[in-house]
Amino acid sequence: MSDELIQIETPFAFNEENQREFDELIGRYPIKEAAMLPTLHLAQRQAGYITPAVMKHVAELLEVTVMKVKDVVTFYPMFFEEPVGEYVIRVCHTLPCALRDCKVVLDHLKAKLDTDIASETNLAKGTTADGKFTLMKVECLASCDVAPVIMINDDLYKNLTAEKVDEILDNL
Amino acid sequence: MVEERRILYEHLDVPDINTFDVFRQYDGYTRFEKAIAEYQPEEIAQMVKDSGLKGRGGAGFSTGEKWSFVPRDIEPRYLCCNADESEPGTFSNRYVLEKNPHLLIEGILICCYAMGIETTYVYIRGEFTLGKKMLDAAIKEAYEKGYLGKDVRGTGLNIDIYTHPGAGAYICGEETGLIESLEGKRGQPRNKPPFPAVQGVFMKPTVVQNVETLCNLPFIVGNGVEWYTEMGPTYADTRFDPPKPDANTGTKLYCISGDVNEPGVYELDLGLTCSELIEVAGGLRGEEVKAVIPGGSSAPILTHYELDTRLDFTSLTLAKSMLGSGGIIVMNETRNIVDCLLNIMKFYAHESCGQCTPCRWGTPWVRDIVQRIADGDGRKDTITRPKFGVAENGRWGDTGETEEIYEDLDLLESVANNIANVDTMTWNTICVFGIAVSWPAVSYMRKFRPEFEAAIREGKLVTLPVAEATVPPEENYAYQQRFIPKEFADL
């Protein structure tokens, strides 16, 4: 992807606080490219998702090609290339959670939010009409002792049942 | 009943143990101080080697031996702490990071001192936001107290620790995948050799250790090698003459989940049996054990015939399975093994990094076969073998014996074995992800074949009683070469 081919509507730049954090980050590594993942996390936190403008800015900061940034963004499931809801709900559905009925939790969330489950290539499918929630299935969240678990943005919720899910969503 | 022996987890539940002052009250950083005051770096490395500590991340490779491969004349050297805990069924590192991060820092400090390392990267999986926050706070405190940074405690050592967030890829738990990811690339594992000990992160010598392995170091230094080796069995490796001791020393953070009454992390000496562990975890939830996964989802499954298997590195390797990261998942009689395998194969199909063709195409193929069987569309066929004999009309001729074959099961085994062959232990992929896929696929299918056959025959998932669903050990190659090793002292 050469730079001319990217449609950039609004350019992206770090705000002052994030720029400070980035300056601190970059000093940790002997090569700039190594700061890729933390920088993308930082950018995603500010912009909501990784737009072409974000990729271009990150590429300039790390002195790599835009293609290289795109390469990394497409590899990792935690980076979104489409807009997501205000709350991203990640439902674990790997074996230990499946043995503890995570399907009940997932079906309940689907019915309650009236949405499908997002796929990695189609996040809009799992986003509610009001843009508040995005529902997605993820692999093991490493909390199998308190299964079934979900993560809403940065917080983990444990030992879930349909009633507990209601309570959590009401308190958001 | 086996007693828990809490060493790494001893002070886990102490309030505010995540702060420097409280950690200090419980001997915090005294082990590191002892290391720098009483021992030379080489002596520490030798102690770790003598302790028989094996890496707790999955491969179970001797930590001391790994350190000995690191060339000490190439600068700089790095330490990568692997906190990318993503193996289904494993959750012990999360608690260390969230509750007792200073213990990890102390372990890192000892490793850095022993190996002459100045920079450490802690690769934390992206979902561990709380763990990263706690560790970052602890690191900041350690800098303030002078245990990190320039000239640590006036010894002239410079040690820095940085946390590095992952972004949700399972493969970054593989050591070279982790290194690639740390360098800001896709987390696709590298060819080995060169091993990370020689050319790792930024192409410099790198020690990659799991959180739990590093947390063992303060106790080895603090209490001595003899104290440490008393815990856990030491076996005799009879391939050598005289037999070489094969140590399984120390405690292990066993993570147990699934159908038990009290799932959680239990710190126990290595070498207890599977049924003992289930008992420690509050007993089985249900009537009967159907199957146990002994070391995270990539480990071959154990049947109810194998519950006497000891959960340590050597015994499980000899039982054709592995301790891996110590994530034990128990399944009771109500579980359908086809369904469980489908869940795991979906995981691997999703997490394959796509670098090697056999894995990229093989994992979705295996998943699709299992999906087909689970949906009731499993392929079967009847074949007629020509056979001469007395036919129905009383004359010699082709008696045409008809046999029902389960085409999909043969296909499943063939595809899985072409990603990585479980019998010869050779893989057609760069990293061991290949074997992590075919191990469960083939072992579930071989050991619970009646249940797979029933699903194909009946056209739907059928959960058979445990005795019927399991292939008994005497008759089947699924359990080949299995034997329980003897302890060294017995020989």
Torsion of Cα atoms, B78 then B167 then B54 then B13, to 10°? 110
C-alpha of B360 from chain center? 22
The beta strands (E) that lie in B305-450 are given as 327-332, 381-385, 388-390, 396-398, 401-405, 420-421, 426-427
Q: Report pLDDT digits (tens) over A119-137.
A: 888 999 999 999 999 999 9
Q: Does B130 sit within 8 Å of A156, measured CB to CB? A: yes
Q: Does B340 sit within 8 Å of A37, measured CB to CB? A: no
Backbone angles phi, psi at B469, to 5 degrees: -75, -20
Q: When comparing pLDDT for B481 and B103, which is higher?
A: B103
B401-405/B381-385 β-pairing: antiparallel
Q: Residue B57 contacts by C-beta under 8 Å, 6 or more apart in sequence?
A: B82, B173, B209, B210, B212, B213, B325
A163, B373, B418 from B380: Cα distances, Å: 44, 10, 21
| B149 and B182 assigned to the same domain | yes
**Which one of A33, A141, A146 has the shortest CB-CB distance to B127?**
A141
B289-293/B302-303 β-pairing: antiparallel
The reply to whether B345 touches chain A by the CB within 8 Å rule is: no
The domain that contains B294 carries what CATH number?
3.10.20.600
| B451 and B315 assigned to the same domain | no
d(CA B144, CA B157) in angstroms, rounded, equals: 16
**Which one of B182, B257, B293 has the shortest CB-CB distance to A145?**
B257
Q: Is the pLDDT of residue B489 over 60?
A: no
Q: Does A138 sit within 8 Å of B168, measured CB to CB? A: yes
Assess if residue B223 is contained within a domain. Answer: yes
| B321 and B346 assigned to the same domain | no
Q: List, as one string, the DSSP characters of B150-218.
A: SSGGGSS--BEEEEEE--S-GGGGSHHHHHHHHTTS--PPPPSSSPTTTS-GGGS-EEEEEHHHHHHHH
Q: List, as one string, the DSSP characters of A110-155.
A: HHHHT---BBTTBSGGGB-TTSSEEEEEES--S-GGG-S-EEETTE
SS3 label, residue B443? helix
- Say if CB B104 and CB B96 are below 8 A apart: yes
Residue numbers in B near A79 (CB within 8 A): 167
**Which one of A28, A142, A156 has the shortest CB-CB distance to B86?**
A142
The domain that contains B105 carries what CATH number?
3.40.50.11540
Q: Report pLDDT digits (tens) over B150-208.
A: 999 888 999 999 999 999 999 999 999 999 999 999 999 999 899 999 999 999 999 99
Q: Does B129 sit within 8 Å of A154, measured CB to CB? A: yes
| B208 and B224 assigned to the same domain | yes
- Tell me which of A24, A37, A62, A67 to substitute to probe the interface with B (most B C-beta atoms closer than 10 Å): A37
Quick one: CA dihedral B98, B95, A35, B118, positive or negative?
Answer: positive
Two structure tokens written together for A131: 């843009």
Q: Does B297 sit within 8 Å of A144, measured CB to CB? A: no
Asked casually if ipTM beats, i.e. exceeds, 0.85, the reply is yes
Q: How confident is the model at residue B490 (pLDDT cuts 50, 70, 90)?
A: very low
For residue A92, the chain B residue with the least C-alpha distance is B88
Residue numbers in B near A30 (CB within 8 A): 202
For residue B83, the chain A residue with the least C-alpha distance is A142
Q: Is the pLDDT of residue B483 over 60?
A: no
Q: How confident is the model at residue B411 (pLDDT cuts 50, 70, 90)?
A: very high
Assess if residue B391 is contained within a domain. Answer: yes
| B271 and B307 assigned to the same domain | yes
C-alpha of B46 from chain center? 25
- Tell me which of B127, B341, B348 to substitute to probe the interface with A (most A C-beta atoms closer than 10 Å): B127
Bridge partners of B396? B390
Among B195, B194, B329, CA closest to B258: B329
| B77 and B191 assigned to the same domain | yes
Q: What is the mean pLDDT of residues A43-66?
A: 94
The mean pLDDT value of chain B amounts to 91
- Say if CB B247 and CB B229 are below 8 A apart: yes
| B323 and B347 assigned to the same domain | no
Task: Give chain A's contact residues with B (Cβ, < 8 Å).
Answer: 28, 30-31, 33-38, 40-41, 62, 64, 68, 71-72, 75-79, 90, 93-96, 98-100, 138-147, 151, 154, 156
**Which one of A33, A139, A145 has the shortest CB-CB distance to B347?**
A139
| B369 and B330 assigned to the same domain | no
Q: Does A139 sit within 8 Å of B258, measured CB to CB? A: no
B327-332/B251-258 β-pairing: parallel
Residue numbers in A near B254 (CB within 8 A): none
Among B155, B197, B159, B158, CA closest to B175: B197
Residue numbers in B near A100 (CB within 8 A): 258
For residue B19, count other CB atoms closer than 10 A to its CB: 15
- Say if CB B142 and CB B148 are below 8 A apart: yes
Q: Report pLDDT digits (tens) over B422-448.
A: 888 888 999 999 999 999 999 999 999
Backbone angles phi, psi at B178, to 5 degrees: -60, -40
For residue A30, count other CB atoms closer than 10 A to its CB: 12
**Which one of B91, B127, B167 has the shortest CB-CB distance to A37?**
B167
Q: How confident is the model at residue B350 (pLDDT cuts 50, 70, 90)?
A: very high
Which of B278, B311, B334 terminates a domain? The answer is: B334
Assess if residue B237 is contained within a domain. Answer: no
CA distance B393 to chain A (A): 56
Assess if residue B242 is contained within a domain. Answer: no
| B269 and B356 assigned to the same domain | no
Assess if residue B442 is contained within a domain. Answer: yes
Q: What is the mean pLDDT of residues B357-386?
A: 92
**Residues 78-117 (B) with a CB less than 8 A from some CB of A:** 85-91, 93-94
Assess if residue B406 is contained within a domain. Answer: yes
**Which one of A71, A77, A90 has the shortest CB-CB distance to B169?**
A77
B221, B266, B405 from B100: Cα distances, Å: 19, 16, 55
Quick one: CA dihedral A127, A128, A133, A138, positive or negative?
Answer: negative
When mean pLDDT is compared across B403-407, B449-453, B464-468, the lowest value belongs to B403-407
pLDDT of residue B478: 66
Domains assigned to chain A: 3-75 (1.10.10), 87-170 (3.40.30.10)
d(CA A79, CA B238) in angstroms, rounded, equals: 50
**Which one of B90, B343, B344 has the shortest CB-CB distance to A142?**
B90
| B31 and B51 assigned to the same domain | yes
Which of B314, B334, B354 terminates a domain? The answer is: B334
Q: Report pLDDT digits (tens) over A70-128.
A: 999 999 999 999 999 999 999 999 999 999 999 999 999 999 999 999 988 899 999 99
Tokens 């070469």 found at: B481
Which of B301, B334, B367 terminates a domain? The answer is: B334
Q: How many CB pairs under 8 A join A and B?
A: 134
The domain that contains B432 carries what CATH number?
1.20.1440.230
Assess if residue B162 is contained within a domain. Answer: yes
Q: Is the peptide bond before B76 cis (omega within 30 degrees of 0)?
A: yes
Bridge partners of B81? B122, B209
d(CA A37, CA A29) in angstroms, rounded, equals: 12
SS3 label, residue A80? coil
CA distance B4 to chain A (A): 17
Overall size of chain B counted in residues? 491
pLDDT of residue B481: 47
Q: What is the pTM of this model?
A: 0.92
Backbone angles phi, psi at B66, to 5 degrees: -60, -40
Task: Quote the domain boundaries for residue B320.
Answer: 250-334
| B359 and B415 assigned to the same domain | yes
Q: Does B259 sit within 8 Å of A99, measured CB to CB? A: yes
Q: How many domains does chain B have?
A: 3
Q: What single letter denotes the amino acid at residue B293?
A: I
For residue B156, count other CB atoms closer than 10 A to its CB: 8
- Say if CB B257 and CB A145 are below 8 A apart: yes
| B279 and B350 assigned to the same domain | no
Assess if residue B7 is contained within a domain. Answer: no
What is the percent of chain B with per-residue pLDDT over 70, rounded to a whole number? 97
Q: Does B255 sit within 8 Å of A95, measured CB to CB? A: no
Tokens 């990267």 found at: B121
Residue numbers in B near A156 (CB within 8 A): 130
Q: Does A79 sit within 8 Å of B89, measured CB to CB? A: no
